[in-house]
Structure 1
Amino acid sequence: MTAGAVMPAVAFHFNVPERRGYVCRLLRKAWRSGARVVVTGEAAMLAEVDRLLWTFEPLEFVPHWRGAEADALPGRLRETPVLLLERHSPALGHDVLVNLGHEVPSGWQQYRRVIEIVSRDEFDRDRARARWRSYGAAGASIERHEVAS
């Protein structure tokens, strides 16, 4: 982080019954509020989120682009509010990072907010605890949100 930069807030959303649908609803809410969001994770998970963003709500569309990295984003799409990237980059001015991966994403400190989506799966919960410790050790303030069934 640069001198004077503020550490991002990190929010963990625990006990999410179905991560893909949850992240679609979260992205719709973020887009409606004017936020610019990068979602990062494994290629298969991002492909499924991409597919669901086209179909999860019959009369709505969340503008998004999916790719391996931001460098592949065509110039005319630079203002796309939601990016699904295997290798994220805050260089495009997106202020929120949603992590669907199992590790702390490198460069997370360059966003204003980081959101972790954690399912009820024990492996997922175990990896989330490790990420929580990493964020805490870096000095981030962490919020915990329990998702109601």
Structure 2
Amino acid sequence: MTKIDFHILPSADDSATYHYVARLANKARGKAHQVLIAVNSSEELEPVSQALWSVSPDSFLAHTNCATAPFPLQLTASEECGDHHDVLINLCHETPTFFSRFKRVIEVVSQDPIRLQASRSRYRDYSDNGYPIERFDLRR
């Protein structure tokens, strides 16, 4: 069964969210995980991509769009989820239809009111369907 993690950020700032996602992806790739980052729209792809290219002053995370080619770190703004099913980092307001194919889903929760409400709904859905959930509250 898919393991679900909720990472609750202290900020509503999209830039801070994208940089946190880049750090998560960097950590997962460092452990040889394949990662798919799902975003709401094609407009959101660019700032996430920029965060990945500047994950730290001396490194970057090479990545590609899911529709382009198989790659260990991919981004998607559609129902395309690539060929691997290891780690999904979800920034979408809705639960991706393909989430249960992944071993692990990381839900990144910002304090933006729209994103916060959407993540509460996803949390209820996962919980109601019996998925194991772990919370990481970074507001403290």
For the superposition of Structure 1 and Structure 2, which TM-score range results when normalised by the shorter chain? 0.7 to 0.9
Kindly report structure 1 stretches of 4+ aligned residues shifted beyond 4 Å.
Answer: 88-91
Matching residue within 9, 15, 33 for 1:35: 33
CA distance in 1, matches of 2:79, 2:56: 26
- Residue 147 of structure 1: CA displacement? 1.2
Classify the secondary structure of the residue corresponding to 2:44. helix
CA distance in 2, matches of 1:89, 1:22: 23
Matching residue within 3, 6, 27 for 1:9: 3
- Residue 30 of structure 1: CA displacement? 0.7
Q: Decide whether the 8 Å contact of 1:97 with 1:113 is kept in 2.
A: yes
Q: Name stretches of at least 5 consecutive residues in structure 1 with no aligned partner.
A: 1-6
Q: Which string of whole-angstrom CA distances, capped at 9 and with x for unpartnered residues, describes residues 17-45 of structure 1?
A: 32111001111111111010101012222
Change over 3 Å in CA distance of 1:95–1:16 after alignment to 2:
farther
- Residue 122 of structure 1: CA displacement? 2.3
- Residue 120 of structure 1: CA displacement? 1.5
Residue 46 of structure 1 corresponds to which residue in structure 2? Answer: 45
Alignment of 1:1-149 (within 5 A): 7-17=1-11, 18-42=16-40, 43-66=42-65, 70=66, 72-74=67-69, 78=70, 80-148=71-139
CA distance in 1, matches of 2:58, 2:77: 28
- Residue 104 of structure 1: CA displacement? 0.6
Q: Which string of whole-angstrom CA distances, capped at 9 and with x for unpartnered residues, describes residues 105-129 of structure 1?
A: 1021110000100112222211111
Change over 3 Å in CA distance of 1:16–1:112 after alignment to 2:
farther
Higher strand share: 1
- Residue 88 of structure 1: CA displacement? 4.4
CA distance in 1, matches of 2:82, 2:72: 13
Q: How many residues align?
A: 135
TM-score when normalising by structure 1:
0.82
Q: Which string of whole-angstrom CA distances, capped at 9 and with x for unpartnered residues, describes residues 33-65 of structure 1?
A: 101010101222221110121123231121211
Q: Decide whether the 8 Å contact of 1:90 with 1:111 is kept in 2.
A: no
Q: Decide whether the 8 Å contact of 1:53 with 1:61 is kept in 2.
A: yes
- Quick check: which has more Rg, 1 or 2? 1
Aligned-pair identity in percent equals 33
